[in-house]
């Protein structure tokens, strides 16, 4: 068993070395093992100091309190608690602790200064509080007075929203009957006042569980859902954001802050969350709810019901929704917009419901849960199939179609149900156009997988061709064509597996492009033309023709920017195909020969899929402003922008960033901003691709231009995520270049890189076998050592950081030497301790320094001489040691050289070294003859 005293000493060492995480671990271990009360107080007090450094103020206050419980006059613990409470905004409590410290040590100037500062802050807080109360009162008076001027009302509304977002302001509004007054504003039926009230309420709920719960109960979930159901997009969205903020608080997510007494109140949120979920499910099937309201309810369910992390075993929210609301979701996907009894829908509603079905299915943990889900679906669909009632049956087929767009495996099982395929075939042959429309869509969704497609090729192609030839209805014609496109692309990118005769695919694509450009056709029908191209562009001839067709490209981009978001995946798929940014398997020549010998099929590459053709297509897309279309697609705040869609968009961006000359255009069209959310959320592959695209931009762009304002700090984490042995060398290299560029901009950026724990990874790459990686890492470190915290890590005992940099100065690679020598010059100039430490870390230090001072490359030589000057300046004893070596001869040789403008800076540093030695009296000046 380890000794608590030893662990305390170990923690102290870690603390001095600024490794607060390890210090906390040592103190925590000691606390568990210790039995001595006096030592226990010291351990809690020390751990509180660590938490202060880590900016975890609630934990710091808690540990300091435990130390004070053991020893009420522990002055260090009292002062640390005072510091923590001040940071938590509890100024009155912080003042009391500082007062106790000043009473114990009245002459301590630090305590007196803290008391003065806290006293002034408390007075200022009281003044603000008083003036805030008056301001809040005045704002409500203006807003509730119907005779107020419009300008005054608008200003008051905006000020109220801003005040609601500040903790102090939100609390004042809440305490002064503000929620009741905000409810009055909502009841005025004035859109501007309703928006102001709802946005203020959102700000008040942010990060405050108790206040959010109180507001939810005061307003009532029925009222909130009713406001969200209105046919006004802005109000509906604002209410949706309010409900999301409340849900985040109840789930313990978002910007959770500590608010003193609230911590002692235990709030049971499960009941409220279930109540919200039930009301949202009821909204799905209510005819009183607008299409937008239904979309908002679906988006909230998509966002909050499935688990964010599958490692979390609790999927009770999902099972609750399946048991209480699966049939309601199925009813939404089974709606047919052309039928008179259809619920109010937008163009996005049904796909959003299909995505919810998929997320719920994926969130199930075991076969019995999946079986229960399947049984509910089967029973509900069976209850709708009635050969005597075609309208009812039509809803059943539409439901199957909706499930096929969600959990496809389940959809396939539903297709196998008795009577489903037969009904689809029968509906295809029906005289009613609505029957044909639904059946063709179901056939299209059914042929998603190659195995299913081969079955349908033998049965469905004939049906689709028949419909295509017979029908006069453009809506049906285009869908039948998409079905044929989908079946025609079943071979994927394999040139040898084409399903249709030579030239047929191009003909289909031409027809799709024609429909796409025809603005007289409704957008919903034109969307299907893009869907067809998503399959057909797997063929390289089609890709080439499409990117050359400027009107078709622009028509597709315009559709991507409309309110119909169901098109996003299809547009992204077309662009992935055109840029060849999908994954391809490398063919091993030996295996190809073996396959040919055994008469197995070998995938063939289309001649137009070679690199030069792909580059031309990328240039054409950039010229057509593809980046602004992609940026619009990324902004979509809807469940329809799935992780898979995000991955496709990230793939396209990476392909577009390939040529450094194009990166300026991409930034100018908003590509830099659009990539940040893609690098943070989505599939693992998508995040890596987006991070890599960001690294390519960050490596060569001015960060202030590419990522203006605070946005640049958001880019650091994606770049650091690429410093991983699982990523390839190019990703590592470009991430290091990006971080080098960033670390040269400002100390705030250097601090952010350090906080993201990039330093150990950068150090590892400094000793990679790969020359370019080693060089990039050394250059990055050269920029980072300007930061004080990085310098302190070099000064700390028990690490080889300085030794590694010194050894890098002795490398043969000149670029690595320049970077390493630059880092060493800055470190020895900033920290005198490192000058003496440098002479101890390796026996080769002197030889390396002499080689730097005699280097052929003037940049390396100058940095070597600066290091020598720093050593001479640091300490007389160290200077004496250096004078006794050959370094003096080297400096004398350089210093005696004639003045030369090209290397005057080098000669001057050598002379400065000699002057410093003369100042110490170690050498005498030579009298010139």
Give how far Cα 791 sits from Cα of 17, 158, 194, 787, 830, Å.
Answer: 11, 46, 54, 6, 8
Q: What is the DSSP string of 372-409?
A: HHHHHHHHHHHTT--TT-HHHHHHHHHHHHHHHTSSHH
Indicate yes or no: pTM above 0.85.
no
Give how far Cα 127 sits from Cα of 98, 120, 814, 883, Å.
Answer: 22, 11, 63, 66
Q: How far apart are CA 417 and CA 422, in angstroms?
A: 10
- Mean pLDDT in residue range 107-112: 85
Query: 370 versus 252: which is more confidently predicted?
Result: 370
> Is 70 exceeded by the pLDDT of residue 721?
yes
> Is 50 exceeded by the pLDDT of residue 586?
yes
pLDDT of amino acid 600: 60
pLDDT grade, residue 606 (50/70/90)? low
pLDDT of amino acid 179: 87
Q: How far apart are CA 830 and CA 832, in angstroms?
A: 7
> Is 60 exceeded by the pLDDT of residue 1?
no
Residues of the chain by 3-state class (helix, strand, coil), percent to 5: 75, 0, 25
- Mean pLDDT in residue range 611-623: 90
Contact of 361 with 306, CB cutoff 8 Å: no
Task: Classify 709 in phi/psi space as left (phi over 0), alpha (psi -120 to 50) or beta.
Answer: left
Contact of 18 with 796, CB cutoff 8 Å: yes
pLDDT, one tens digit per residue, over 316-344 is 999 999 999 999 999 999 999 888 889 99
Rg from Cα positions in the chain: 35
Residue 730: count other Cβ atoms within 10 Å of its Cβ.
14
> Is 60 exceeded by the pLDDT of residue 563?
yes
> Is 50 exceeded by the pLDDT of residue 739?
yes
> Is 90 exceeded by the pLDDT of residue 523?
no
pLDDT of amino acid 498: 46
pLDDT, one tens digit per residue, over 404-433 is 888 888 888 888 787 777 777 777 777 788
Least confident of 30-39, 142-151, 663-672, 725-734: 142-151
- Mean pLDDT in residue range 87-94: 85
pLDDT grade, residue 657 (50/70/90)? very high
pLDDT grade, residue 258 (50/70/90)? very low
State what percent of residues in the chain have pLDDT above 90: 32
Q: How many helices (H) and strands (E) does the chain have?
A: 52, 0
């Amino acid at each position: 068993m380890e000794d608590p005293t030893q662990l305390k000493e170990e923690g102290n060492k870690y603390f001095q070395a600024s490794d607060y995480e390890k210090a906390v671990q040592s103190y925590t271990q000691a606390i568990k093992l210790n039995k001595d009360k006096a030592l226990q107080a010291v351990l809690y007090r020390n751990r509180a100091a660590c938490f202060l450094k880590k900016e975890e103020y609630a934990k710091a206050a808690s540990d300091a309190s435990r130390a004070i419980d053991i020893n009420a006059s522990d002055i260090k613990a009292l002062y640390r608690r005072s510091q923590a409470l001040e940071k938590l905004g509890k100024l009155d409590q912080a003042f009391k602790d500082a007062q106790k410290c000043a009473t114990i040590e009245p002459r301590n100037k630090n305590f007196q200064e803290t008391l003065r500062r806290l006293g002034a802050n408390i007075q200022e807080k009281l003044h603000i509080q008083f003036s805030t109360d008056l301001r809040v009162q005045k704002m409500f008076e203006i807003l509730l007075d119907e005779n107020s001027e419009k300008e005054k009302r608008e200003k008051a509304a905006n000020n109220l929203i801003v005040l609601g977002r500040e903790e102090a302001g939100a609390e004042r509004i809440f305490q002064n009957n503000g929620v009741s007054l905000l409810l009055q504003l909502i009841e005025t039926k004035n859109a501007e006042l309703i928006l102001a009230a709802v946005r203020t309420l959102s700000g008040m709920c942010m990060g405050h569980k108790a206040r959010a719960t109180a507001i939810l109960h005061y307003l009532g979930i029925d009222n909130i859902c009713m406001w969200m159901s209105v046919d006004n997009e802005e109000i509906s969205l604002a209410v949706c954001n309010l409900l999301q903020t409340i849900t985040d608080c109840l789930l313990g997510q978002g910007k959770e802050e500590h608010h003193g007494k609230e911590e002692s109140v235990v709030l049971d949120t499960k009941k409220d969350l279930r109540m919200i979920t039930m009301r949202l499910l009821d909204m799905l099937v209510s005819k009183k709810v607008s299409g937008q309201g239904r979309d908002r309810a679906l988006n909230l369910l998509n966002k909050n019901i499935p688990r964010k992390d599958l490692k979390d075993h609790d999927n009770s929210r999902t099972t609750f929704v399946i048991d209480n609301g699966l049939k309601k979701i199925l009813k939404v996907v089974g709606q047919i917009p052309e039928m008179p009894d259809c619920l109010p829908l937008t163009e996005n509603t049904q796909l959003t419901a299909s995505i919810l079905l998929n997320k719920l299915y994926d969130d199930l943990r075991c076969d019995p849960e999946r079986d229960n889900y399947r049984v509910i679906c089967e029973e509900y669909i069976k209850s709708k199939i009635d050969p005597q009632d075609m309208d009812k049956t039509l809803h059943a087929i539409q439901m199957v179609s909706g499930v096929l767009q969600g959990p496809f495996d389940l959809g396939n099982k539903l297709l196998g149900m008795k009577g489903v395929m037969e009904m689809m075939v029968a509906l295809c042959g029906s005289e009613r156009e609505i029957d044909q429309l639904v059946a063709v869509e179901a056939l299209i969704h059914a042929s998603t997988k190659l195995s299913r497609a081969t079955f349908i090729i033998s049965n469905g192609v004939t049906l689709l061709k028949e419909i295509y030839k017979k029908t006069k209805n453009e809506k049906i014609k285009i869908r039948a064509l998409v079905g044929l496109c989908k079946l025609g692309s079943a071979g994927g990118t394999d040139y040898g597996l084409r399903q249709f005769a030579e030239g047929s695919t191009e003909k289909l694509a031409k027809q799709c492009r024609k429909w796409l450009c025809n603005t007289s056709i409704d957008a919903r029908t034109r969307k299907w033309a893009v869907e067809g191209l998503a399959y057909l562009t797997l063929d390289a001839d089609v890709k080439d023709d499409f990117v050359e067709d400027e009107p078709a490209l622009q028509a597709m981009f315009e559709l991507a920017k409309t309110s119909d978001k169901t098109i996003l995946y299809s547009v992204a798929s077309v662009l992935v195909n055109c840029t060849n940014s999908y994954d391809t398997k490398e063919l091993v020549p030996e295996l190809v020969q073996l396959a040919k010998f055994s008469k197995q099929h070998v995938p063939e590459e289309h001649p137009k899929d070679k690199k030069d053709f792909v580059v031309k297509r990328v240039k054409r897309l950039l010229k057509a402003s593809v980046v602004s279309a992609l940026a619009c697609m990324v902004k979509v705040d809807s469940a329809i922008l799935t992780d898979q869609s995000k991955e496709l968009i990230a793939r396209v961006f990476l392909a577009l960033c390939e040529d450094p000359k194009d990166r300026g255009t991409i930034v100018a069209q908003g590509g830099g901003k659009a990539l940040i959310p893609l690098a943070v959320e989505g599939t693992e592959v998508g995040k890596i691709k987006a991070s890599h695209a960001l690294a390519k931009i960050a490596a060569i762009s001015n960060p202030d231009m590419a990522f203006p304002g605070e946005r640049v700090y958001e880019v650091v984490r994606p770049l650091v995520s690429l410093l991983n042995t699982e990523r390839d060398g190019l990703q590592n290299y470009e991430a290091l270049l990006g971080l080098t560029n960033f670390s040269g901009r400002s100390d705030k950026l250097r601090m952010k890189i350090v906080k993201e724990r990039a330093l150990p990874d950068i150090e590892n790459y400094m000793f990679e076998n790969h020359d370019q990686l080693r060089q990039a890492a050394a250059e990055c470190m050269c920029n980072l050592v300007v930061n004080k915290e990085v310098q302190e890590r070099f000064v700390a005992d028990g690490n080889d950081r300085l030794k590694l940099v010194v050894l890098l100065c002795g490398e043969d690679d000149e670029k690595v030497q320049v970077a390493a020598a630059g880092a060493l010059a800055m470190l020895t100039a900033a920290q005198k301790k490192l000058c003496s430490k440098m002479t101890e870390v390796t026996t080769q230090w002197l030889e390396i320094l002499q080689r730097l001072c005699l280097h052929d490359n003037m940049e390396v030589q100058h940095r070597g001489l600066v290091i020598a000057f720093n050593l001479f300046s640091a300490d007389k004893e160290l200077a004496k040691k250096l004078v006794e070596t050959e370094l003096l001869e080297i400096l004398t040789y350089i210093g005696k050289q004639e003045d030369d403008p090209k290397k005057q800076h080098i000669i001057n540093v050598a002379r400065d070294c000699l002057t410093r030695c003369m100042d110490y009296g170690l050498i005498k000046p030579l009298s010139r003859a």
